[in-house]
Structure 1
């Protein structure tokens, strides 16, 4: 089962729909998580209706920031939404072709540490309630070590401890990634990615 995660940084960009359609054509995802859409409400639904998914859960944005869209093909999976906040969508996924149930958490962590701490507490609470196989995915807006970043401010150990406590309380492990190690540029040149 293919799951695709994309940090689009704005669903209003001119090539947004074309990019989604290309990603779907290349990867055939059954579930797609689009983060940092910067769009919610009626305008988000207008765009989502043009995409090749018939299941949807959308978080509220804060002004023109954040936003998570969880999209799925309901002929392949049944999705029970458990909770949605500005930083997270939690759902139980039931694969229709198998007797397989699992938990998904689509995350776009706040840039503010105090708000991320609320997210960490929500994840710990969910870990105490469910014992299903669980995947959390997305952008946590946090690093676990100095090796996960290049340049910028030094790693804050208080913030590292907070996310590590969350990970330790939840039965998860880091599956790694594919693609460039550093992806955030803040509109800087490629060599300045951090």
Structure 2
């Protein structure tokens, strides 16, 4: 993928796995990870403020969706940094789930 730096969460079996990659000398500190997220603090250089990024992958199984959605508020607790969350939330997987 041509990234010089990165964090990887291994797949469980033959499915899943997460990766967060970046170039440059940004200071990235891993806060936490699971099969559904990678949470980091970023400081692009010493003169710029820190901010937070969470890469998120929502459960594809309907039975586990509530669990992954409950993860976001827990990650947001006690956070004072600007925070960006991105990824694949898998909120709608099939047309019959649309309202």
TM-score normalized by structure 1?
A: 0.45
Q: 1:152 is matched with which residue? A: 95
133, 145, 150: which one pairs with 2:82? 133
| Partners of 1:58 and 1:69 within 8 A in 2 | yes
Q: Which has the higher contact order (CA 8 A, sep 6+)?
A: 2
Name stretches of at least 5 consecutive residues in structure 1 with no aligned partner: 1-19, 21-50, 144-148, 157-194
- Structure 2, gaps ≥5 residues long: none
CA separation in 2, counterparts of 1:94 and 1:115? 33
Q: Which has the higher helix share?
A: 1
Q: 1:67 to 1:52 in 2, by over 3 A?
A: same
Q: Deviations over 1:51-78 (max 9, x none)?
A: 341x221112132222211112351x11
Determine if the alignment matches structure 1 residue 72 to structure 2 residue 22.
Answer: yes
In the alignment, the residues of structure 1 paired with residue 68 and residue 6 of structure 2 have an alpha-carbon distance, to the nearest angstrom, of 21
The count of corresponding residues between Structure 1 and Structure 2 is 99
Q: Which protein has the bigger strand share? A: 2
TM-score normalised by length of structure 2: 0.82
User: Which residue of structure 1 lines up, in the alignment, with residue 31 of structure 2?
Assistant: 82
Change in Cα spacing, 1:69 to 1:118, as seen in structure 2 (3 Å) is: same
Structure of greater Rg: 1
Runs of 4+ in 1 over 4 A off after TM superposition: none
